[in-house]
Amino acid sequence: MIQRQKKKIVLYQPKQVDDSLGVESSKDMIPLELMTIAAFPLEDGYDVKIVDGSLYGGTEGHERFAQEADGAMLVGTTAILGYMVTDSWLAMQHLKARHPKIPAVIGGWFASVKPDLMLETGLYDCVVIGQGELTFRDVVKAIDAGEPLDALEGIAFMRDGEVIRNPRRAVAGWDQVPNVPWHILDIEPYREHQMRPQSASDVLRLPSPPWIGHNKPYFGITYFSSFGCPEPCGFCCSPEISMRRWKCMPADRMLDDIEELHERWGFDAIRFHDANFGVMQKRTREFAEGLLNRDLKIGWNSFIETNSILKYKPDTLDMMAESGMFIAEIGAEAGMDEMMKRIGKPIKGDDNIAAAVEMDRRGVQGSITYIIGYPGESEESMMATIDQCRRLHNAAPLARPNVWPFRPIPGTVMWDEAIALGYQGPRTIPEWGSIGEYHLEETWPGNIPKAVGRARMMYQHHATLSYGLARGKIGWWERRAQRRLEDGSYQAARMEARAFGVYDKISRRLFGGVDSVRSWVDPGHKTGTKGNAASKASESMTSVTKG
């Protein structure tokens, strides 16, 4: 009996960082998005190939994508705000030059809120909006059957030069989607890259779990266990994409899947990429208890809200830490109740500090982010946020709180507010893709008053020093910086910051030193390819103080 060859689908995972800048991205960021949507086509009998651009330097990934697409029925990619937007576009351009007639589709958070930008390129037959598993399955079947796409729920497409958005598909629960087909991924390139001695300096790399050792190589993976978020945050596009629905994988199913995967791959840590892991205390508790009962010795981290931490029972928090949680990623957002009310979060007073302390006392490091420069935010509010960040730094020594400048994101309430106030966002795909790390650039120049910018920079300088990141040790400068943060005199120490910059430059020339360090403004991000956060802040103080 002659076996028919399976029809092929080829998917491209774009790079998350521009490696032409001389940086490496952490390879624990496996192509989850594409593996997730591959599950149904595999189940339906298609051959699905994934090309992960992050595994290849330069344009090699684009060429591999085009080569793999020989004879393919369909190709697809995804995009999240940042360099992925540019790389997916470049990869698809490269592919279309070789295979101009292959149907193509794109999805992801950014594509979902800017389908017009994607469709106007002429590269794509449709954009999958929001949750992708069921919709992508429908797209595959329609293209295979030669049927039009215009009747499908959950997509946008171009007709006669106009973008048509079909009705949204209802958010599906986990009972309607299969597990990720882990078997299609060759994990060895990811493991090998992560176990390099210098892997701690990779962009997006989380710190090593404490039991492995500071800056020691470890093998980690990413994982989705829920979709969406019930919070109404005005700066986030999740309310638009997920319609404030939250669908989670039951704890037992998650534990079974992770246990089988751990037996297959033997990873050290798992990094949950859920938008909001901790919505349901019962599930979180069952997960932590299950890890302990099954003797699954892995580290894990997740996004969890301040409000969730403060509502959880103390023994649930105890169990989370005991089960291996070593980082809690917390969106603290603002330091004044009025601003919190505008954002839409039920956080008041010093709730953020209280939540950070709860995790800190259990040995869980808080990766805590504040934002300043929301549309119409007062200078008083911004300064209150920086001050709360400083006080949290002192109250929870393990925590790494940071202040980011507000970045308008399309598909959000605050995007519309920013536009009304005169903000002019990116217009082309390369411009959107050039938006990088929050702490390195302001995407809304002039929105943050100079005095606030100086205060934020001085906080960054002293915090980076106090953590020992600048020189890789704790000495006079580091202890001095911590005292400044404790007594609140850090803003007045501009000349001291400049002096450290001069001292640091001379020391490096004479004795060498740390070449690049983790910034903690975003866990795992470096502040640059050379130098370090404190010295960069110190150097910048020259222009800031003159300004």
The helix or strand, by DSSP H or E, that contains position 401, with its residue range, turns out to be strand 400-405
Residue 501: what pLDDT?
A: 87
Q: pLDDT-based confidence at 220, cuts 50/70/90? A: very high
pLDDT at 434 over 60: yes
Q: Which residues make beta-bridge pairs with 75?
A: 10, 104
pLDDT at 59 over 60: yes
Residue 4: what pLDDT?
A: 67
Greatest Cα-to-Cα distance within the chain, rounded to the nearest angstrom: 82
Contact 231/238 with Cβ under 8 angstroms? yes
Render pLDDT for 265-284 as a digit per residue (tens, 0 to 9).
999 999 999 999 999 999 99
Say how far apart CA 327 and CA 269 lie, in whole Å.
11
Q: What is the mean pLDDT of residues 403-426?
A: 94
pLDDT at 52 over 60: yes
Residue 543: what pLDDT?
A: 36
The helix or strand, by DSSP H or E, that contains position 228, with its residue range, turns out to be strand 226-228
pLDDT at 45 over 70: yes
Q: Specify the range with the lowest mean pLDDT, choosing from 7-11, 15-19, 257-261.
A: 15-19
Residue 63: what pLDDT?
A: 98
Contact 133/36 with Cβ under 8 angstroms? yes
> pTM score, two decimals?
0.92
- Choose between 425 and 329: higher pLDDT: 329
Q: What is the mean pLDDT of residues 510-517?
A: 59
Domain extents in the chain: 8-166, 449-547
Contact 471/504 with Cβ under 8 angstroms? yes
Residue 440: what pLDDT?
A: 59
Render pLDDT for 68-105 as a digit per residue (tens, 0 to 9).
999 999 999 999 888 999 999 999 999 999 999 999 99
- The two beta strands, 246-248 and 226-228, are antiparallel
Q: Specify the range with the lowest mean pLDDT, choosing from 250-254, 314-318, 409-413.
A: 409-413
Render pLDDT for 97-135 as a digit per residue (tens, 0 to 9).
999 999 999 999 999 999 999 999 999 999 999 999 999
Residue 534: what pLDDT?
A: 45
Placement of tokens 């997920």 in the chain: 242
**Neighbour-count burial for 3-36, b at 16+ CB within 10 Å, e otherwise:** eeeebbbbbbbbbbbbbeeebbbbbbbbbbbbbb
pLDDT at 248 over 50: yes
What is the chain's mean pLDDT, rounded?
91
Render pLDDT for 450-474 as a digit per residue (tens, 0 to 9).
999 999 999 999 999 999 988 888 9
CB-neighbour burial class of residue 434 (10 A; exposed 0-12, middle 13-18, buried 19+): middle
**Neighbour-count burial for 126-165, b at 16+ CB within 10 Å, e otherwise:** bbbbbbbbbbbbbbbebbbeeeebeebebbbbbeeeeeee
Q: pLDDT-based confidence at 528, cuts 50/70/90? A: very low
Residue 232: what pLDDT?
A: 93
Tell me if residue 49 falls in helix, strand or coil: strand
pLDDT at 391 over 60: yes
DSSP code at position 368? E
Tokens coding 262? 């751990």
State the Cα angle at 49 between 110 and 106, rounded to 5°: 20
Residue 21: what pLDDT?
A: 85
pLDDT at 337 over 90: yes
Does the domain spanning 8-166 belong to CATH 3.10.105.10?
no
Residue 518: what pLDDT?
A: 42
